[in-house]
Every structure is written in C-alpha cells, then in structure tokens.
Amino acid sequence: MSFPWAKEYKPAIGLTQWLDEKLPLPRFVYNAVGAGYPVPRNLNYMWNFGVLAGFCLMLQIITGVILAMHYAPNALVAFDSTEHIMRDVNWGWMMRYAHANGASAFFVVVYLHIFRGFFYSSYKAPREMIWLLGVVIFLLMMATAFMGYVLPWGQMSFWGAKVITGLFGAIPVVGEPLQIWLLGGFAPDNAALNRFFSLHFLLPFVIAGVIILHIWALHIPGSSNPTGVEVKAESDTVPFHPYYTAKDGFGLGVFLLIYCAILFFAPNALGHPDNYIPANPLSTPAHIVPEWYFWPFYAILRAFTYDFFFIPAKLMGVLAMFGSILVWFFLPWLDTSPVRSGHYRPLFRKFFWFGLIPTMAILFYCGGAPAEEPFVMLSQLASLYYFAHFLIILPLVSSIEKPEPLPFSITEAVLGKDESAVLNANPTAA
Amino acid sequence: MVRLFGPLVGLFFAVALLWSFGNGAYSAITEPAAPTAEHEFHLHPKDVKFASDGVFGKYDKQQLQRGFQVYKEVCATCHSLKHVAFRDLADLGYSEGEVKAIAKQWGTKQPTFDPKSGERAERDNIASDYIPTVYYAGQGVPPDLSLIAKARHNGGAYVYSLLTGYQEQPAELLKKFPDSKTPDGLYYNPYFANLNLAMPAPIASDDQVAYSDGTKATVDQMSQDVSAFLMWTAEPKADKRKQTGWAVLGFLLAATVLAYLAKKNVWADKH
Amino acid sequence: MAEQASIDTSAEAGEGVRRRDFINIAAVSFAGVGGAAVLFPLVSQMAPSADVLAQSSTEIDISAITPGQAIKAIFRKQPVFIRNLTPAEIASADKVDASSLRDPQTLEERTKEGKTNWLITMGVCTHLGCVPLGAGEGEVKGEFGGYFCPCHGSHYDTAARIRKGPAPKNLEVPEYSFISDAVVKIG
C-alpha cells in the first residue's frame, strides 16, 4: 500500500543497488519504518507505545535467552539455579532483574497501547485486523508471562501454576483430564516445569511473528491519528523517518529512565516476597495473587462467588475472565459510531474517563487485595460495569450520541485553524 | 449478529454478577465475618534504619561482620544459609586467609559420599563450599535464612522486629479471643504472621555474643546486626546494583536530553 | 548565542544548521555508545561464574601413591595425572637429549626441585583434548612407557613428553605446589 506521495527507495551506492535487485531488504525497511512510510503529522505521545512494545519484546528475548543459558528447568534445582544466576553468574542479577521487570514494563506499555486504542477507537474500520491481531498478541503475552513466572519455582510460581491450570478444571466433563494433561501430573512438578520452560522460550518468537502481521496490517490503511480523520493530502503526513524515529527515540529515553530506575533501585517492588520461598506443595501462602498485570482479570475471576442457576460459580468466573478479554475481539462491531476519536465524542468520552478507567482501577486494586469484603463486592460491581461498558453501553452510546464537528483535515487540526472553524460552526462546543 | 448477541451476553454476565453481589451482601449482613486475633493483634515491622537503606545506602561491612558472628554463634545451629558460600564472606571484608579459617573451623562439616565404597563421611569445609545445611529435629521447621530478608515484606525490619518482639500475650487478646491462647511450646510474637511461633527468643540477653570491635553487644544491637547481615545474604549484589544504577541513569539522562533536542530539531519546520 | 555568532564569521543560518547537526549526531552517538556498553554484560555473562572460578584450585592427598603408580584426579573438571616415577623411569627420561624433542623440556623442568619423582600433568592430550591412557592400572602406556592417546595415536614418554603422533606439545604441567609431603595443591 501506501499513499501516492510516499517516497520511493533509491539505492545510494552500487552495493545497495545490487542488494536491492537480489533481496530488497533495505527497501522493505525503508518502506516499513523509514522515509518511505508516510505517517499522520499529528500523532501525540500516546502513539509511542507501539515502538516501545516492540523494544520490550526484544529486551525480553535477549535477556531471556541469556537467562536460559544459566537456568535449569528441573524442580529439584530450578530455585537454586535462579539464585546461582543472582549470585554467581557475571551480571546475572542484572539480567534477571531486567527480565522480571522487563515483563512488567512490557505490560505497562501494552496496556497504554491498548487503552490508546480504546480512546481513539483505533479498532474501527479499516483497521479491524490490526486490532484483532493485537488482542492475539496480548493473549500470547499473558500465556508467556504466566509460564515465565512459574520458572523460578518459588511459592508463588508453584501455586500460580496450580491455580491457573485449575481454571481449566472448571470446564465441565473434560476439565479435570485437561488439567492433568496440561500439568503432565496431578500437581505441578517436573513435567509441568519443563514444558512451561519450553513454551516460555517458544512463545515470544510466535509473538514476534504475530507482531510482524500486526505491522503488516497497519501498513495497509496506515496509522490512525488523534483526530480520527483519515489522511487526505500529502500535507497531512510526514515521513516516518526522521520525524517519528526522532520522536520514538526521545520516548525510548524516557521509558528507559523509568525502567532502569526500577531495575536498579527497586527491582523487587513489583514482585511478591513469597516467590523467594522455594516451592512447597504442602503449604499455600496466606495471600496468593498473580503478578500485578493480571490483577484486573483475576478480580473478575473472583467476582463470581455464587452458583448461577446450574452454572457453578467457578465456571462462571473462568468464563467471565476469558470473556472479559474475548469481548475485545468484537469491539470493531460493537462500537458503530462513524466518528473515531474520543475527542469528538462527548458521551463516549464521559463513559471512558468516568466509567471504564475507574472500573479498571477498582478491578486492578481488588485483584491485588485479599479475597475479603469489601473488595469482593467492589469487584462484583466493577466487573458488572466492565461487561456493561463494552457490550451494552458502547453500542448504545454509538447510536444515540451526537458527535462534535470534526476538523476538515489533519493539517487544519495541527495548524490550529480548527478551533475557530469549530466555534464558527458550533458555538456551544467551547 | 454481534450487536444482537453482545448485549445479551452482557446482560447474562451482569445478572450473574448481581446474583453473586446480592447473595454476598445478604450474607455479609446476616453473618458478618468474625474478627480474628491475627487480624487485630498482628503488627507491621518496627521502623528501623539500616546503612543500606535508600538509593545511596551501602552495606556497613563492620556491621555485617558482627551480624555474621551473631548468625554463626546464635542462629546457625538451627537455620541453614545454603545459598551463601564461604568465599562470599570475602565481601564482608574478610581476607582470603580469614575466609579459609572460617570455613575450616565451621561447626557443621561438609558431608561426603564415596561412590565406590558407598561410605558417607564428612570433611572440613573449604572456601568454595556452600555453608552446609543443618537439620532440626525439634518442633517447627526453621527456614533457610539466605533469602529471608527478601521473602518477607520489609524483610530487614521484619527480622529485627521479630527478634526484639517477643512478649507476654496481651491480656486484652485473651479476653477477646479466649481460644487463641498461645499453645504450649510456642511463643507469642505480634510480628509473626499467626502470632505464635516455635522459636523461643534467640537473642535473650546482652553480651550473648562477644564483639571484638568494641561495639556494645546489646540485644537491640545484635538484632540489628544480624538483620543487616541477612539483608546482605539475600541481596549480596545490592551495592554494585546501586552503583551501576547511578552510572546508567546518568548516561540515560544525558542521552534523553539530547534525544529531546534532536527531536525538536527534526520537527522544527513542522509545527 | 549572539556572542558566538559575532566570533563566528559565517552566516547565522549556516551556524544554526551546524549546531542542529551537532545535536543530532551527538544523540545518535549516545545511542551507539549506550548500545555498545550494554554488550559488555551480555558478553561477560558467558565467562566462568564465581562458583566455577572458586573451584579453580584443588588439594589432593598423594601419600598413598607408591612408586610406579599413578592416579587420576580432577582439576577444573578435567583429569590431572599424578604419577610417582620409579628410578628406572626417571633414568629413561633423563637419557633422552631434550633438544632433539618436538617440545624440548627436561624432566627437571617439568617437576619441582627435590621432588623429581612426582610428575603432575593434565590428562588432556595436546592434540585435540582426549584423555590419554597410562595412568590407570593395566592401561596401555604407549611405545615410550608414559601415556598413549588412543584417539589419534600420540605417544608420550615417562616425563609425559610428546614423542610420536600428531600432538604438538608435551602434556601440560599445571601450576601446583606441595603444601606438605603428603598434600599437593593444584591451581
């Protein structure tokens, strides 16, 4: 694809000319993230997180491959080999902390990326496929992160493995055999640890593959932008390089500052102390919680405390937890408003800022809190809103809302003419 | 299709949640959760300062040596320290010779096994050995202490609070929860998660350990020293980590400022 | 800025461009330096870890080895041969003119003074690293009565010097010292 005004790759010297004829890799890069990719000129900093997420995946793969050189996936020695990395391997402590906090950083970045998509309705036509692939990436990330957390074979690792595979046990009839099959035993042990290690090593490369599809799909319609107005002319775009490489470079610097501050000065702040206790199949920690990035979904899982007709509470929780992410797949068809950006959707915007965001915050908090009142009741109300927001409110809002007037073009929005234009057309919008 | 089934699925989950919520609210009113002794009498660790606290903090090697002495003379009979090797003690400021001597004189010997004769025996420890595991047959399971300071919230302060927190069970507790009397053979300590533990106060009197550096060996001092030592065993690389961190952050700050200026340059003609 | 411009005689626009270029180049260079610095831990993590390095010396009791006998010990996870030479073996080694050998060394140069009978060498063939035969009881000692490497047929003499076959060097003598008459420390 691309816009007619996209710059064409011109090999500068003989070597690149030769390469371009045999294997046009430089051309491919040039068109993907170089000067050959025209991008809306008005992207704000919320558009930095895609590149940052890619960076996080690279970081995880590099540190992960290194950790795998020293780690031993055997229940007898896994915990000790982790400590061996922390104490004896040259820079091993840094590699492990970089990987553990890298997972958190990856999720922070991806959550911001997803919520950017929610606010600007990046999932809408013609970008549905980008969104669907993104949800697939998110699911793969969750699976990878979960299996990675099992590997140190601490108390939280062990009980996390037991509880999460237990979710599959909720499925009627096949649940229990399925759980035993997943674990290769009746409880997490060597078999489970070894297969989790193998899959934890494999999945990131699958994620990398889906990311390539995600970016490929992105390049068909081109990037969306904060106004949600499609690109109309060359003046609406700038080449990715140098404009967005420079902007992403600065964003990467800020990201690394925050990430390294945590890595070097509070590396265990996001972890749980119990995972420094070796796995003990005979004693469950008093308060087991998954890693922070699963808390909202964990809260939804725990919100179902009573059997609903013939459906056991446990199964309801599992259905709801998976459903809470699966519902994202249907977003492009649930939200039918012709306007994309939340900036021009007054009602949608209210539900986003005063509905969805506080709900996620409450779910997040309740997921990390013990299973006691008032947290259970709070998470029930928040889960209720969560499902209502996506499945009921969003379709309703898109049909009754009267959007605010859009700028004529991106250029107009950037150069500040839209303010007066909007005011002239609709004085109440101020 | 989606617009038809979406709201139905939404309603289904909403009703199921309301059902749970209603039942939960009803039972919360009719049978409120009973308070427990742990809930009301468990205390968070005391506020105690260590040399290694904060982003500029560094371990006080003199204190770590004293703490090691307390571990060796008080804790080591029941608690292992299996992730620490004798060679690691060089980080506390001991010379190579001192490390070797500590290893050789260590009370618990290194078990050996002759695969030919099948004989089990033991030998003196050497510097490259890990501190041998100790076994405890009595009541309770003394945990390995290598990582204890990271395995508890606010671990250093936790260890210190636990060591100095033994006391008589408060009369108020017994009055309110008559069933929660400390069982025989256990000891009351409000800093322990379930209030009663099998370990009697290990550091019971001043001068239990004879310090050679002139520090007065009060119960409080010994408790602080051994807590500091266990913080080191849990995170021996903390000093290097912070030192590296400052270099990295300094570099990144400069790089980020430059990146910002470069970004402004590039965009100068587009705003 | 103004002061600088007055010193610099070039046009103001040109100066501005150069300053901008400088910042962009500096930013890219910083990224390059940062990337290179990260390589250091990535590379050095593969070097031996602290626990491996700590085992780089080993103490061995040699009191039970009678003349003519040899033992295999382990040093850095590799075999080391400790051999108590008989007077006949010493004589046969001394008889050879060292300068005529592929790797010229005398037995004296390969042992400690006053302890010429204790031949301590790595049990690693200098050709491609197999373990030569000859230290264990009943093993082939090769044509020169020392060690024989079955992989590619290297023969070593009673001073463990290469005499025949593809190996380029004598069996390596590790660093060692006698702690007492009964104990030798290797490494």
Q: Is B121 helix (H, G, I), strand (E, B) or coil?
A: strand
Percent of chain B at pLDDT exceeding 70: 100
- Provide the pLDDT confidence category of residue C21 given band limits of 50, 70 and 90: confident
Pair A333, A392 in one domain: yes
Across A52-66, A277-291, C60-74, C156-170, the highest mean pLDDT is recorded for A52-66
Structure tokens that stand for A151 in this block: 């590997």
Pair A140, A201 in one domain: yes
Q: Point out the domain boundary residue: A240, A259, A288.
A: A288
Q: Read out DSSP for A51-107?
A: HHHHHHHHHHHHHHHHHHHH----TTTHHHHHHHHHHTSTTHHHHHHHHHHHHHHHH
Q: How close does chain B come to C34, measured CA to CA in Å?
A: 8
Q: Which residues of B touch A327 (CB under 8 A)?
A: 6, 9
C137 versus C123: the higher-pLDDT residue is: C123
Pair A112, A147 in one domain: yes
Question: Cα–Cα distance between B36 and A288 in angstroms, integer?
Answer: 19
Q: Is residue A176 part of a domain?
A: yes
pLDDT of residue C17: 64
Q: Out of A217-221, B185-189, C2-6, which region has the weakest mean confidence (pLDDT)?
A: C2-6
Q: Is residue B226 part of a domain?
A: yes
Q: Is the Cβ of B212 closer than 8 Å to some Cβ of chain C? A: no
pLDDT of residue A88: 96
Q: Which residues of C are identified as catalytic?
A: 152
Q: Which residues of B touch C54 (CB under 8 A)?
A: 85, 87, 127-128
Q: Is the Cβ of B121 closer than 8 Å to some Cβ of chain A? A: no
User: Which of the following is catalytic: A104, A157, A223, A341?
Assistant: A223
Question: Cα–Cα distance between B139 and B124 in angstroms, integer?
Answer: 29
Q: How close does chain A come to B161, measured CA to CA in Å?
A: 17
Q: What is the mean pLDDT of residues C71-82?
A: 91
- Provide the pLDDT confidence category of residue B167 given band limits of 50, 70 and 90: very high
Q: Is the Cβ of B128 closer than 8 Å to some Cβ of chain C? A: yes
Q: Is the Cβ of A310 closer than 8 Å to some Cβ of chain B? A: no
Give me the phi and psi of C25, to 5 degrees please: -65, -40
Quote the domain boundaries for residue B228: 57-165+201-236
Q: Which residues of A touch C42 (CB under 8 A)?
A: 62, 66
Query: Helix, strand, coil: what percent of chain A each, to 5?
Result: 70, 0, 30
Q: Residue written as tokens 């990260």?
A: C38
- Residue-wise pLDDT for C94-128, tens only, equals 998 888 899 999 998 999 988 889 999 999 999 99
Structure tokens that stand for A401 in this block: 């809302």
- Residue-wise pLDDT for A231-278, tens only, equals 999 999 999 999 999 999 999 999 999 999 999 999 999 999 999 999
Partner-chain contact B252 C34, CB within 8 Å: yes
- Provide the pLDDT confidence category of residue B31 given band limits of 50, 70 and 90: confident
Give me the phi and psi of C28, to 5 degrees please: -65, -40
Q: Is the Cβ of B259 closer than 8 Å to some Cβ of chain C? A: yes
Quote the domain boundaries for residue A121: 49-221+248-288
- Provide the pLDDT confidence category of residue C14 given band limits of 50, 70 and 90: low
Q: Which residues of A touch B88 (CB under 8 A)?
A: 87
**Are the C-beta atoms of B234 and B149 separated by less than 8 Å?**
yes
- Provide the pLDDT confidence category of residue A1 given band limits of 50, 70 and 90: low
Q: What is the mean pLDDT of residues A310-314?
A: 91
Q: Catalytic annotation on A223? A: yes
Structural domain count of chain B: 1
Put simply, the chain C residues between 21 and 60 with a CB less than 8 A from any chain A CB are 27, 31, 41-42, 44-47, 49-52
CATH code, domain with B135: 1.10.760.10
Q: Quick check: C58 pLDDT over 50?
A: yes
Pair A76, A139 in one domain: yes
pLDDT of residue C98: 87
Three-state SS string across B41-88, please? HCCCCCCCCCCCCCCCCCCCHHHHHHHHHHHHHHHCCCCCCCCCEHHH
Q: Is the Cβ of B253 closer than 8 Å to some Cβ of chain C? A: no
Q: Which of C20, C31, C54 sits opposite B255 (nearest CB)?
A: C31
Q: Is residue B8 part of a domain?
A: no
HSE-up of residue B40 (Cα within 13 Å, Cβ side): 12
Q: What is the mean pLDDT of residues B38-46?
A: 91
Q: Quick check: B99 pLDDT over 90?
A: yes
Question: Cα–Cα distance between A31 and C16 in angstroms, integer?
Answer: 31
Inter-CA distances, A132 with A186, A203, A297, Å: 35, 18, 19
Nearest CA in chain A to B150: A273
Q: Is residue A408 part of a domain?
A: yes
Q: Quick check: C7 pLDDT over 80?
A: no
Percent of chain B at pLDDT exceeding 90: 79
pLDDT of residue B227: 97
Mutating which of C18, C19, C23 best tests the B interface, going by the most B Cβ atoms within 10 A? C23
Helix axis angle, A313-326 to A295-302, nearest 10°: 140
Q: Read out DSSP for B12-31?
A: HHHHHHHHHHHHHHHHHHHS
pLDDT of residue A169: 87
pLDDT of residue C15: 59
Percent of chain A at pLDDT exceeding 70: 96
Say how far residue A225 (Cα) sits from the centre of its chain: 19
Q: Is residue B267 part of a domain?
A: no
pLDDT of residue C55: 78
pLDDT of residue B40: 87
- Provide the pLDDT confidence category of residue B138 given band limits of 50, 70 and 90: confident
Q: Quick check: A135 pLDDT over 90?
A: yes
Mutating which of B1, B2, B11, B17 best tests the A interface, going by the most A Cβ atoms within 10 A? B17
Q: How close does chain C come to A134, measured CA to CA in Å?
A: 29
- Provide the pLDDT confidence category of residue A428 given band limits of 50, 70 and 90: very low
Q: Residue written as tokens 């915990």?
A: A79
* Residues paired with B211 in a beta bridge: none
Pair A199, A167 in one domain: yes
pLDDT of residue A178: 93
Q: Is A337 helix (H, G, I), strand (E, B) or coil?
A: coil
Q: Quick check: A420 pLDDT over 70?
A: no
Contacts of A67 (CB under 8 A, 6+ apart): A85, A95, A96, A99
Pair A101, A204 in one domain: yes
Q: Which of B85, B258, B268 sits opposite C30 (nearest CB)?
A: B258
pLDDT of residue C1: 34
Question: Cα–Cα distance between A89 and B262 in angstroms, integer?
Answer: 38
Quickly count: other Cβ atoms within 10 Å of residue B182's Cβ.
16
Q: Which residues of C touch B251 (CB under 8 A)?
A: 30, 34, 37
pLDDT of residue A2: 73
Partner-chain contact A333 B152, CB within 8 Å: no
Closest-CA residue to A366 (of A382, A343, A386):
A382
Structure tokens that stand for A187 in this block: 């409880």
**Are the C-beta atoms of A379 and A302 separated by less than 8 Å?**
yes
Q: Out of A180-194, A347-361, A413-427, B117-131, which region has the weakest mean confidence (pLDDT)?
A: A413-427
The three-point CA angle A105-A106-A107 to 5° equals: 90
Q: Catalytic annotation on A247? A: yes
Q: Is residue B46 part of a domain?
A: no
Domains of chain C: which residue ranges? 1-47, 53-186
Give me the phi and psi of A274, to 5 degrees please: -60, -20
Return the biggest CA–CA distance within chain B. 84
* Residues paired with C157 in a beta bridge: C145
pLDDT of residue A19: 93
Q: Which residues of C touch B258 (CB under 8 A)?
A: 23, 26-27, 30
Mutating which of A88, A255, A256, A263 best tests the C interface, going by the most C Cβ atoms within 10 A? A88
Q: What is the mean pLDDT of residues C167-186?
A: 91
- Provide the pLDDT confidence category of residue A105 given band limits of 50, 70 and 90: very high
Domain at C53-186: CATH architecture:
3-layer Sandwich (2.102)
Q: Is residue B248 part of a domain?
A: no
Pair A111, A208 in one domain: yes
pLDDT of residue B32: 84
Chains near C with 3+ CB pairs less than 8 A apart are: A, B
pLDDT of residue C4: 41
Pair A131, A205 in one domain: yes
Q: Is A166 helix (H, G, I), strand (E, B) or coil?
A: helix
Give me the phi and psi of B117, to 5 degrees please: -90, -15
Q: Is residue A40 part of a domain?
A: no
- Residue-wise pLDDT for B182-240, tens only, equals 898 899 999 999 899 999 999 999 999 999 999 999 999 999 999 999 999 999 999 99
Nearest CA in chain B to C37: B248
Pair A168, A209 in one domain: yes
Q: Which of C42, C50, C51 sits opposite A66 (nearest CB)?
A: C42
- Count CB pairs under 8 A between chains B and C: 37
Residues in chain B: 271
Percent of chain A at pLDDT exceeding 90: 88
Q: Is the Cβ of A90 closer than 8 Å to some Cβ of chain C? A: yes
CATH code, domain with A271: 1.20.810.10
Nearest CA in chain A to B256: A253
pLDDT of residue C10: 44
pLDDT of residue A426: 46
B181 versus B152: the higher-pLDDT residue is: B152
Q: How close does chain A come to C34, measured CA to CA in Å?
A: 11
Partner-chain contact C24 B266, CB within 8 Å: yes
The three-point CA angle B135-B138-B142 to 5° equals: 55
Torsion of CA A124, A126, A129, A132, to 10 degrees: 0
pLDDT of residue A417: 58
Query: Helix, strand, coil: what percent of chain B each, to 5?
Result: 50, 5, 45
Q: Out of A113-127, A160-174, B149-163, which region has the weakest mean confidence (pLDDT)?
A: A160-174
Q: Which of B11, B16, B255 sits opposite A316 (nearest CB)?
A: B16
Q: Is residue B11 part of a domain?
A: no
